[in-house]
């Protein structure tokens, strides 16, 4: 029981007493990163706002360190829990330093004067998010990505035990996304801070989270480790993806394959076919691929993008059946692209396929 830092018990959240999501039962272990994923409007922010007390709970309870949320004073809560919100703020005449320094408010006296120690903590927090050089700039005049980092520094500066972040990576470029998630990961590891956040990037959510909470309006669709949650069906169902696909292994998403009679047969392996697949997909040309070992890099993507894939079991010499299917494809397709396939003792018979294409005058070689 005491092992959980935040517990949501039979919680219903929503606006004006009308529940949007009900029966939320989630226990959060200290030092974990818990990520809320789900489609837009599913209620991720609603759940976060309820935990931060911006919204009244519709029903059920939230416990923070074993204490009922409603029994904790705002003041006490502020020294345990820091937030980073999606609300756009336009503070008047405040430098980035000033914005970060507001994170020290729960620790200052009546007039909010900062001590030398507070100054040090502000400076350290800004350094941690690589925002120290912004300190004298007006907050309203920096880019959205920079604002995001300054607000993160503000939350860090509050020295909380729990951090709640609503879509902290929006507006950030990929470098700063990775940076931010790296910082969060480090804080949980080194300081034991618990992070509860919502993310749009499911690939990043899978990689950074200890636990993932799938929010799909009405009820919670799932809660568990990324390995448990990130199954292809679960994700496509959660987001109601009906075009394209999600690869749970790499956490990558793909646009839908181009359907139709294959016009090109791509012969490749060891990842060299991937750029060719993508090119064909962009041009809207249906294609086939082969002969690929099932453990080949190309195979995983070919199965998502190609209309037909000729495969062979790993570590087994290519058999007659695969060769026959490949030869048939050479005949059916107008073009054959050989993307520099590597050939060794196991897949020696690929040469037969290449020779057939050559003879038919369809072979194009790309490196």
Partner 1 sequence: MTLSGAMTRRRRVRYTTVFCLLAAALFFLLVLNVNTGNVHISVGRILGIIFTRQGDPTEVDIIWKIRLPRLLMAAILGGALSVSGFLLQTFFENPIAGPFVLGISSGAKMVVALTMIWFLSRYAAVASAALIAAAFLGALLSMGFILLISRRVTHMASLLVAGIMIGYICTAVTEFVITFADDADIVNLHGWSQGSFSNMTWSNVGIAAGIVGAALVVTFLLSKPIGAFQLGEAYAQSMGVNIRLFRGLLILLSSLLSATVTAFAGPISFVGIAVPFLIKRALNTAKPIVVIPATFLGGAVFCTGCDLIARIAFAPTELNISTVTAVFGAPVVIFMMIRSRKRG
Can you give the binding site for partner 1, defined by CB under 8 A? 52-54, 73-79, 81-83, 85, 87, 89, 91-94, 97-99, 102-103, 105-106, 108, 110-113, 116, 119-120, 122-123, 132, 135-136, 140, 158
Report how far residue 367's alpha carbon sits from residue 361's, in angstroms, rounded to the nearest whole number: 19
Of 162 and 212, which CB lies nearer to partner 1 in the complex structure? 162
Report how far residue 179's alpha carbon sits from residue 182's, in angstroms, rounded to the nearest whole number: 5
Q: How many residues does the chain have?
A: 367
Q: Please, which contacts does 319-327 make with residues 24 or more away whose CB atoms are closer than 8 Å?
A: 322/290, 322/291, 323/291, 323/349, 323/352, 323/353, 325/290, 326/265, 326/267, 326/290, 326/291, 326/353, 327/352, 327/353, 327/356
Of 83 and 309, which CB lies nearer to partner 1 in the complex structure? 83
The minimum distance between CB 116 and partner 1, in angstroms, equals: 7
Report how far residue 259's alpha carbon sits from residue 285's, in angstroms, rounded to the nearest whole number: 8
Of 113 and 240, which CB lies nearer to partner 1 in the complex structure? 113
The minimum distance between CB 215 and partner 1, in angstroms, equals: 20
The minimum distance between CB 4 and partner 1, in angstroms, equals: 22
For 144, list phi and psi in degrees, rounded to 5: -60, -40
Strands 6-15 and 18-28: antiparallel
Nearest Cα neighbor of 129 from 92, 168, 90 is: 168
The minimum distance between CB 135 and partner 1, in angstroms, equals: 7
Nearest Cα neighbor of 213 from 205, 202, 204, 224 is: 224
Of 45 and 269, which CB lies nearer to partner 1 in the complex structure? 45
Of 18 and 110, which CB lies nearer to partner 1 in the complex structure? 110
Query: In 29-122, at which residue ranges do the beta strands (DSSP E only) sit?
Result: 33-37, 59-64, 67-68, 81-84
The minimum distance between CB 199 and partner 1, in angstroms, equals: 20
The minimum distance between CB 145 and partner 1, in angstroms, equals: 18
* 3-state secondary structure at position 342: coil
Rounded (5°) CA angle 154-160-164:
75
The minimum distance between CB 235 and partner 1, in angstroms, equals: 31
Alpha helical stretches, state H, the chain: 44-51, 74-78, 96-101, 116-128, 144-157, 174-191, 202-208, 226-229, 232-238, 274-283, 297-305, 320-332, 350-360
The minimum distance between CB 127 and partner 1, in angstroms, equals: 10
* Whole-number Cα distances in Å, 274 to 246, 299, 342: 16, 9, 14
Of 114 and 178, which CB lies nearer to partner 1 in the complex structure? 114
Report how far residue 28's alpha carbon sits from residue 32's, in angstroms, rounded to the nearest whole number: 7
The minimum distance between CB 106 and partner 1, in angstroms, equals: 5
DSSP-assigned letter for residue 255: P
Of 85 and 195, which CB lies nearer to partner 1 in the complex structure? 85
């Amino acid at each position: 029981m005491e092992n959980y830092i935040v517990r949501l018990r039979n919680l219903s959240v929503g606006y004006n007493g009308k529940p949007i999501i009900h029966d939320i039962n989630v226990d959060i272990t200290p030092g974990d990163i818990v990520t809320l994923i789900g489609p837009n409007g599913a209620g991720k922010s609603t759940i976060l706002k309820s935990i931060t007390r911006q919204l009244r709970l519709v029903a059920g309870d939230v416990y923070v360190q074993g204490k009922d949320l409603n029994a904790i004073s705002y003041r006490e809560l502020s020294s345990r829990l820091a937030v980073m919100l999606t609300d756009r703020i336009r503070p008047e005449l405040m430098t980035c330093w000033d914005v970060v320094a507001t994170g020290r408010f729960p620790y200052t006296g009546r007039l909010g004067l900062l001590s030398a120690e507070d100054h040090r903590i502000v400076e350290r927090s800004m350094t941690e998010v690589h925002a120290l050089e912004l300190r004298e700039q007006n907050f309203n005049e920096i880019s959205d990505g920079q604002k995001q980092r300054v607000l993160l520094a503000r939350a860090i500066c509050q020295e909380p035990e729990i951090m709640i972040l609503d879509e902290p990576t929006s507006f950030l470029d990929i470098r700063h996304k990775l940076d931010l998630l790296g910082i969060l990961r480090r804080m949980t590891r080194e300081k034991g801070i618990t992070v509860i956040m919502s993310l749009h990037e499911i690939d990043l959510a899978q990689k950074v989270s200890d636990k993932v909470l799938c929010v799909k309006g009405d009820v919670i669709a799932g809660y568990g480790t990324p390995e448990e949650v990130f199954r292809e069906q679960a994700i496509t169902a959660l987001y109601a993806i009906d075009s394209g696909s999600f690869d749970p292994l790499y956490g990558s998403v793909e646009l839908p394959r181009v359907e139709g009679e294959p016009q090109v047969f791509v012969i490749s392996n060891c990842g060299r076919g991937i750029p060719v697949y993508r090119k064909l997909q962009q041009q809207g040309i249906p294609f086939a691929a082969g002969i690929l070992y099932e453990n080949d890099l190309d195979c995983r993507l070919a199965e998502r993008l190609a209309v037909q894939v000729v495969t062979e079991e790993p570590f087994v010499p290519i058999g007659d059946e695969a060769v026959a299917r490949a030869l048939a494809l050479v005949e059916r397709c107008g073009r054959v692209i050989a993307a520099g396939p590597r050939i060794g003792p196991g897949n020696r018979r690929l040469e037969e396929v290449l020779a057939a294409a050559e003879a038919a005058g369809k072979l194009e070689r790309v490196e």
